[in-house]
Chain A
Amino acid sequence: MKTLIPLFLLVALIVSCNIKEEPIVISAEELHKAIDKVTEVMIHDIFSPPVASRIYAYPNIAAYEIVALHQSGYNSLVGQVTDLTPIPKPDKPVNYQMAALIAHLDLSKHLIFSEDKIEVYRDSLYSHWEKKNKGDFLDSKEYGLRVSKHIAAWLDKDNYKQTRTMPKFTINTDDASRWQPTPPSYMDGIEPHWSKIRPFVIDSANQFVPAPPPAFSMEEGSDFYNEVMEVYHINKEITAKGDSSEEVAIAQFWDCNPYVSVTRGHLMFATKKITPGAHWLGITKIACQKTASDFDKTVLAYTKTSMAIADGFISCWDEKYRSNLIRPETVINQYIDDSWQPLLQTPPFPEYTSGHSVVSGAAATALTSIFGDEFDFDDDTEVPFGLPIRSFTSFYHAANEAAMSRMYGGIHYRAAVEVGIKQGKDLGNFIVNTLEMKKNESLVSTQ
């Protein structure tokens, strides 16, 4: 009897293993879900738009490099992206898509604050995979984490850590043109040293320096004055039209402000939304789903778009803290109407150029290069935040609307919007033309 039991168990084990072992198939949906999860945590933790763009890019690149190592159609970004070195190769065959997703999650966890929230999600995936195919899972996990470590060492040297402790933006209200904190919370200027972050594809933060903004002058008839008055009048018109006007809808749809401070009664709190980068990754998801893109192509789309967005922020922030231009709210309150209030809450950094315009231009260019120009889609990205679906005929259609939304919102002058979207498109085109991610790039573009 005594010997029978272990034997029985062994048999049972073998049998059960035989029954349960099955290949794990990772679909694009699982990547979408992982990115949604990261977005959710970022909303909670409150990351500013530039920082958020960095958090999105690195996990995507990790996943992409694993894909590129395993799929002959895809080129590694080594040599195309600054300072990236080849990821380690697996010791034995792995489920590379699972490894890519594991690396993605691990890096995301590394980059956000509330790790526990990612861990809960990760552990549910892990236990599911482990049940399905323990061997495969453990091998892929070991490899995915190894790649994650490799990418972590790379991102650790992008100057992010150093910029955390650089000087704050110095307010000097003696300079009439200089940006200063805005109501209601008068937050310090965020990320004044973001231009010192290592970019991905562009060679430096100042590769796409936009033309300077109209010179500050409140003399009637000056270009700057006219731009101020335009924002003021647009806002008045919109207010007259009421909350249901198209302009209000557009402004609110593209608000993408991760931290809007609200005072209600005696309470102060924040309404939080996704960042512009997150919105464009939402559009990426829509495009991938609409084209039924497989896992590999989805990784490519996310990677390319998130790098364009991240470089867009670096380029834009370089200009923001070069021109240090004052926001419409400050100027209008001081010179024109002291009770004027923009439709959207003014975000806490200088005005020129418009960040949303730059990254929308860059992201739309990246997406167009993958999915083509004539690509109509219904954008439901903001539905979880109580906003309706908006429909677009192309990525550029969406980008142009996103740019204009900032004027409707009363937080940008025309130059910041128009020059901004051009800055983003130029930068996007550079990225698209520089990167060779598919072996035959032209095939991708015309798809």
Chain B
Amino acid sequence: MIKHLLFILSIMLLGSCGQKQGRLFSNPGPEETGIDFQNTLTPTEDLNILDYLYFYNGGGVAIGDINGDGLPDIFFSGNQVKNKLYLNEGSLKFEDISATSGIEGNSSWNTGAVMGDVNGDGLLDIYVCAVVGINGFYGHNELFINNGDNTFTESSKKYGLDFENFSSTAAFIDYDLDGDLDIYLLNHAVHTQASFGKADIRKNRDPQTGDKLLRNDNGIFTDVSEEAGIYGGVNGYGLGISVADFNQDGYPDLYIGNDFHEDDYFYLNNGDGTFTEQLRTYFGHTSRFSMGNDAADINHDGWPDLLTLDMLPEDETVLKSSDGDDLTQTQNLKVDRYGYHYQFSRNMLFVNQQNKAFTETALLSGVAATDWSWSALLGDYDMDGKQDIFISNGIPKRPNDLDFIKFASSEQIRTKMNNTKLVDQQAFDLMPSGKVHNYIFKGEEGLKFNNESGHWTIKDSLISGATAYADLDNDGDLDLVINNINSTASLYVNKTDDKANYLKLNFKYTDKNKFGIGTKAFSYHKGRLQYKELYTVRGFQASSEPMIHFGYGQEKFIDSIKIVWPNKTYQVLKKVATNQYLTLSPKGTNAFNYDSLKKDTRNIFKRTTDNLGINFTHEEDHYLDVNRQKLIPYQISDRGPAVAIGDLNNDGKKDIFFGGSKYIPSRIFLQKDSTYVETAIPSIAKDSIKEDISAIIADFDKDGLNDLFIGTGGGDFYDQMPPLTDSYYRQEKDTFTEMPLSSYFENAGILREYDFDGDGDLDVFVGNHAVTNDFGKIPNSFLLRNQGGTFSMVPNAELQGAGMITDAVWSDFDGDGIKDLILVGEWMSPKFFRNNNGDLSEHFTLEQAYTGLWQSIVPFDIDRDGTMDYLLGNWGTNTKLSASMKYPLKMYYSDFDNNGSTETILAMAKNGSYYTLDGLDELSSQLVSLRKKFTNYKEFAGKPISEILGEPALQKATLLEVNTLASGYLKNKGGKFTFVPFSTPLQLAPIQAFLEYDFDGDGSTEVLAAGNYFGVKPYHGRFDSFPGALIKAEKDVILGNKIGLDLEHKSARHLKIIYMGEKPFLLVTYNNDRSQVYALENNNN
């Protein structure tokens, strides 16, 4: 009986082991497939991760049909082991022909491997990169020319490709469109003193570490890097390369991912044999420790998007015990002084904006954190017509473990310096394992991706690197092959099979480029565009099968496919049946007009060339909130400048007041007949010490002359320092005189004027934002009653403690003909104050509390139902912060360390538990006692906030919450309001400004939204991707970069209509940047 049970148990056990497959992929082992390649690493005393930084980057994998039998074959390069080549015999069986094919290689350290038809004979050759010249590595990059009989001849010298340098991989690219394949050789630096320092060392070419552009001159490759404008510095840690026509001009461009401190490079092809590196123009920020990357169109607009990988851990414990981003000041130093771009340690997903700056959406898209990532491959794995993402992952040991960095000190390491292997092992053992599973994401609508790791795939514990895709079994779906470290290579066999339909395309192109590298395919079905370019080198140190693959779900036929050949000709195939493998050659081609791709623009706005003489650049002062309030979640000192429009010189023309930041004077521009002219009003300019946040030009004393009311803030002055008081200047006969105001000392958020008591003069609501040195405390906001030009406070406790106010609007929400007051702010829900004949009291009109980090509000009937809705600008969802009704973002406010000053500590839910947002270093920089409570990072990491700070401390603290991060609108349903989030493009960044106007001159108004924000620690990145948007209706939103606006990478504060005579213009005012004036192309009011 027992025997019987055991037997059953063992059967069950075997059975469950046998079910080694996910829902989408199965992983047959070497005994089934015959693929037994294993990239075994043998660390020695002289060669290990201490000696060579990329010891664990792994080998390469290249897939292609080398013998013309229609079945893709697989090549692996090994770092220290010999290369292997497997012939595909069909049915997922492979034959190892390495020994007879002459591809085993002679270099001592191989890296990337790519297939391409170098000599144009229609047979795939194999180029294997190597690291040579350090650590005793010998050999050279090897080119195995295909003899057509399953043998190869190493011919690198003959072709000029026998480089002895530090190569990562190589890519085939006909950059000069001369018909033959050129090569971009991606090399990597190693840490030396010379590879640090200023960014412009990239301009000094180094033969070993510098990348090389190699032009194919009749079969001999010539290094043209210098003349082509390719950097080749000693700081180029090249690990990732994508070739794609990013600007759709017919010439292939390059994105190079560089590890460590060096910027990535974005080379746009000038079409004349040269490139111009334009990273900063097109990318507001990039991955920091850039690894592999891939380019493909994910949003069906026919332009290639880009995914770059980094190493941000998803797991809370790993996250809190790993070194991450720089400190704020360190990053500023690298940017301001050393000339590097903004880099953050996480994956980035860049969405191509068609010749405008890319928008970066990885956080919003859900693909930012995949831990130690190597290869990214975008492909339609489930064949539903949307691109999915596969990311390979893992490192044997985590060198960025904080306990290792801080505590694996001389005791362990010093002895290694004296070369004893034993102690080296000890140091090694101190690092935690980084065997993270590979990730797979299913592409959804709205730039969203859903993590299917563990569902579509089995969560592995391998160290996976180079990855390539191919249809190995010719069943129409994409299979994957991965080169692993110290484990047999993985096959991911796709089981979509006939559950969905596909098309595979390959090409017979010209003599020298028989495979048609660089060919583009635009596929159309049911109004949906899919776009691919044939570049085989993708991901990391690998090349995939030379074909284009599309998935179509259940579609039997597709409307058309347009093939655009590298020579800028095209042909169209109509009504194509799916589930075919088509081989296409140029036939009946016509010249392709690339301008036809740039259709999606309407010129509503046009930058004026002279800015109407408004030469105003706002300059933020150097004050850093995080230096004083180390745990403040974001800056409160950068909310300026104030802008106000109104006639200041009594000539009937509206002028402009720009506030200054601390110690920088405000400026005034007067509207003249054909331009604006700056003027100085000394009595106003003298108050330069104040930082101006909000301002109003209006005739408060009703003497026919406009006065000026300024709300000041800046988050630097504190307590009862005079510069915190607001200013009120009365105009009397060409002079402005400062008038006394009730003395309140607050950081202003917003001023809004209205005659709330109906006595015929303008009163002012002063909404205040935050308390200096005491963030988390609710500041006092005031309603100031105007009596003959002097202001007095209206006592109203409800209003006074309303919250951390950022914006307000007087709007008649109850329809009684008197405007009411609506307030928005941070860590609060919008508050509606009903104006009952001059009595303001809060009125609950929301369906529920929508606590947010609200930045802006504007009344607008977005659903066109005749009732007023309210558009609300929030933080957006493209952020590391997370909040929901069930799991709001929490901020605890208390004097945690009992030292007489308060702190705020943020906590976010992950899998149902709340964790501090900050790590031990940040928290203990303020709460030193935590250093004693947690003497290492291991003890701290992965603990919920209740264990970090203790329940009693949390109970004692004031709790502020945010349950909504999305921007959206309050939809009016019979006087009750429900929040409706905006669509994805409006969630890219905080929205700071709205303006309602008929911009396009169609007779009805729209709302223009602008934003972006940089006042956060490097951990949060930079919210620089929002190009502005014109909101016409609920489902009619158009991005600013399509209508002539240039708002990317700048942090907008105000949108205003200004005039030149009768003609309206749009004035955009930024924090710490130059104001811009746009003409309205279709509005000639």
B703 partner residues in chain A, CB cutoff 8 A: none
Q: Which of A165, A188, A339 is the one whose CB lies under 8 Å from B327?
A: A188
Residues of chain B with a CB closer than 8 A to A114's CB:
935
- Interface 0/1 of B29-63, CB less than 8 Å to A: 00000000000000000001111111110000000
| B610, chain A: closest CB distance, angstroms | 30
B405 part of interface (Cβ distance < 8 Å): yes
Interchain CB contact under 8 A, B53 and A181? no
Query: Which of A173, A269, A270 sits near B337, CB closer than 8 Å?
Result: A173
B406 within 8 A of A: yes
Across the two chains, which residue of chain A brings its CB closest to B624? Answer: A170
For window 177-200 of chain B, which residues contact chain A by CB distance below 8 Å?
191, 193-194, 196-198
- Name which residue of chain B comes closest to A168, CB basis: B627
User: A181, B329: Cβ atoms under 8 Å?
Assistant: yes
A132 at the interface (CB under 8 A from B): no
Pick from A188, A266, A272 the residue with the most CB of B within 10 Å: A266
Binds A, one of B535-543, B924-932, B974-982: B924-932
Contacts of A183 in B (CB 8 A): 196-197
* B333: contacting residue among A181, A271, A386, CB under 8 A: A181
- Tell which of B53, B323, B329, B406 touches A266, judged by Cβ atoms closer than 8 Å: B53
Per the bound structure, the CA–CA distance linking A251 and B626 in Å amounts to 36
A339 touching B627, Cβ below 8 Å? no
What distance in Å separates the Cβ of B815 from its nearest Cβ neighbour in chain A?
51
Contact A45 B935 (CB under 8 A): yes
Contact between B50 and A338, CB atoms less than 8 A apart: no
CB nearest neighbor in B for A161: B899
Q: Which residues of B are found within 8 Å of A391, using beta-carbon distances?
A: none
A-contacting residues, B315-356, CB 8 Å: 323, 326-327, 329-330, 332-334, 336-337
Contact B409 A44 (CB under 8 A): yes
| Contact of A168 (CB < 8 Å), options: B332, B400, B630 | B630
Question: Is A44 within 8 A of B407, CB to CB?
Answer: yes
- In angstroms, Cα B926 to Cα A162, docked, is 10
Q: Is B576 an interface residue (CB 8 A)?
A: no
| B410 contacts A171, C-beta separation under 8 Å | no
| B333 x A269 contact (CB < 8 A) | no
A46 CA to B924 CA, complexed, in Å: 14
Q: For the complex, is A167 an interface residue (Cβ under 8 Å from B)?
A: yes
Complex: chain B residue closest to A192, CB-CB: B627
* Pair A167/B627 contact, Cβ less than 8 Å: yes
Tell me the complex Cα distance, A170–B625, Å: 10
CA gap between A386 and B414 in the complex, in Å: 9
A180 vs B337: C-alpha distance when bound (angstroms): 10
Do A270 and B406 touch across chains, with their CB atoms under 8 A apart? yes
B343 to chain A, nearest CB (A): 14
- Interfacial chain A residues near B49, Cβ < 8 Å: 265-267
Given the interface pairs A272-B410, A339-B197, A341-B193, the reply to whether A113 lies near B51 with Cβ below 8 Å is no
A contact residues around B327 at 8 Å (CB): 188
The answer to whether the Cβ of A264 comes within 8 Å of any Cβ in the partner chain is yes
CB contact between B413 and one of A167, A180, A262 (< 8 Å): that residue: A262
Let me know if B628 and A167 touch, CB within 8 A: yes
Q: Chain A contacts of B432 at CB under 8 A?
A: none
Size of chain A's interface in residues, with CB distance under 8 A? 43
**B977 CB to closest chain A CB, in angstroms?**
42
Whether a CB of chain B sits under 8 angstroms from the CB of A333 is yes
Judge whether B408 is part of the interface by a CB distance below 8 angstroms.
Answer: yes
Inter-chain CA distance A162–B897, complex, in Å, is 10
- Closest CB of chain B to A19's CB: distance in Å? 42
Query: Which residue of chain A has the shortest Cβ distance to B413 in the bound complex?
Result: A269
Does the CB pair B405–A268 fall under 8 Å? yes
Q: How far is the CA of A391 from the CA of B856 in the complex (A)?
A: 71
Q: CB distance B932 to A164 under 8 Å?
A: no
Measured in the bound complex, the distance between the Cα atoms of B135 and A264 in whole Å is 13
A172 cross-chain contacts in B, Cβ below 8 A = 622
Assess whether A79 is interfacial by the CB under 8 Å rule. Answer: no
User: What residues of chain B lie closer than 8 Å to A181, measured between beta carbons?
Assistant: 329-330, 333
Q: Is the interface of B mostly helix, strand, loop or mixed?
A: loop
Interface size class of B (residues with CB under 8 A): 35 or more
B944 at the interface (CB under 8 A from A): no
Judge if A121 is at the interface, Cβ distance under 8 Å: no
- Interface pair B899/A171, CB less than 8 Å apart: no
Q: Does B22 sit at the interface, judged by CB under 8 A?
A: no
Contact B409 A270, beta carbon cutoff 8 Å:
yes
How distant is the Cα of A173 from the Cα of B338 in the complex, in angstroms? 11
Across-interface contacts of A266 in B (CB, < 8 A): 49, 53-56, 399
**In the complex, which residue of chain B has the Cβ closest to the Cβ of A270?**
B409
A113 to B48, CA, bound (A): 34
CB of B1015, distance to nearest CB on chain A (Å): 16
Query: Which residues of B lie under 8 Å from residue A339 when comparing CB positions?
Result: 193-194, 197
Q: Give the residues in chain A near B334, CB-CB below 8 Å.
A: 186
- Between A44, A162, A267, the greatest number of chain B beta carbons within 10 A of the residue's beta carbon is seen for A267
Cβ distance B1023 to chain A, nearest Cβ, rounded Å = 23
Binary contact track A343-381/B, C-beta < 8 Å → 1, others 0: 000000000000000000000000000000000000000
**A299 at interface by CB-CB < 8 Å:** no
A88 at the interface (CB under 8 A from B): no
Bitwise, B632-650 to A at CB < 8 A (1) or not (0) is 0000000000000000000
- What does the 1/0 interface line of B958-994 toward A look like (CB < 8 Å)? 0000000000000000000000000000000000000
- Residue A385 interfacial (CB < 8 Å): yes
Question: Are the C-beta atoms of B405 and A269 separated by less than 8 Å?
Answer: yes
A180 pairs with B630, CB closer than 8 A: no
Q: Given A168-B630, A183-B196, A113 and B935 touching (CB < 8 A)?
A: yes
Chain B positions 380-416 with a Cβ under 8 Å from a chain A Cβ: 399-400, 404-410, 413-414
Give the contacting residue for B191; candidates A164, A180, A263, A271; CB below 8 A: A263
Q: Is the CB of B405 within 8 A of A271?
A: no
Contact of A46 among B48, B330, B406, B630 (CB under 8 A): B406
The answer, yes or no, to whether A83 is at the interface (CB within 8 Å) is no
Tell whether A270 pairs with B405 under 8 Å between CB atoms, given A265-B53, A265-B55, A339-B194. yes
With A43-B409, A170-B627, A173-B336 as known contacts, state yes or no: A264 contacts B50, CB within 8 Å. yes
> Counting CB contacts under 8 A, is A32 at the interface?
no
B901 CB–A CB distance under 8 Å: yes
Are A180 and B333 within 8 A (Cβ)?
yes
Answer whether residue A30 sits at the interface, using C-beta atoms and an 8 A cutoff. Answer: no
With a cutoff of 8 Å between Cβ atoms, the chain A residues found around residue B932 in the complex are 113, 115
Are A165's CB and B51's CB within 8 A?
no
Asked if A304 is at the interface of the complex by the 8 Å CB criterion, the answer is no
For A268, the closest partner residue in chain B by CB is B405
Chain B CB within 8 A of A54 CB: no
**Nearest CB in chain B: distance from A220 CB, A:** 23
In the complex, what distance in Å separates the CA atom of A60 from the CA atom of B334? 43
CA distance A374 to B926 in the complex (A): 47
Distance, CA A10 to CA B699, complexed state (A): 101
A104 at interface (Cβ–Cβ under 8 A)?
Answer: no
0 or 1 for each of A186-198: is its CB under 8 Å from B? (1 = yes): 1010000000000
- In angstroms, Cα B409 to Cα A386, docked, is 14
Chain A residue, CB-CB nearest to B193: A341
Give the complex CA separation of A341 and B193 in angstroms.
8
Cβ-defined contact, B330 with A273, below 8 A: no
Does A23 belong to the interface (CB within 8 Å)?
A: no
Residue of A nearest to B47 (CB): A265
Question: In the complex, which residues of chain B have a beta carbon less than 8 angstroms from the beta carbon of A168?
Answer: 329, 624, 626-628, 630
Contacts of B332 in A (CB 8 A): 171
Within the complex, the shortest CB–CB distance from B434 to chain A, in Å, comes to 12
B809 to chain A, nearest CB (A): 36
A229 to B406: give the CA distance in the assembly, Å.
Answer: 35
Quick one: which of B52, B193, B329, B899 has the most chain A CB within 10 A? B329
Q: Which 5 A-B pairs have CB atoms at the shortest separation, nearest pair first?
A: A266-B53, A168-B627, A272-B409, A167-B628, A271-B410
Could you list some 17 contacts between A and B, CB below 8 A? A116-B935, A161-B928, A162-B900, A164-B897, A170-B329, A173-B333, A180-B337, A186-B334, A262-B413, A263-B191, A264-B51, A265-B49, A265-B52, A266-B54, A267-B399, A268-B323, A385-B410
A165-B901, A266-B53 given. 13 additional CB < 8 A pairs? A44-B409, A116-B935, A165-B899, A169-B627, A170-B622, A171-B329, A173-B333, A173-B336, A184-B196, A265-B49, A267-B399, A268-B323, A385-B414
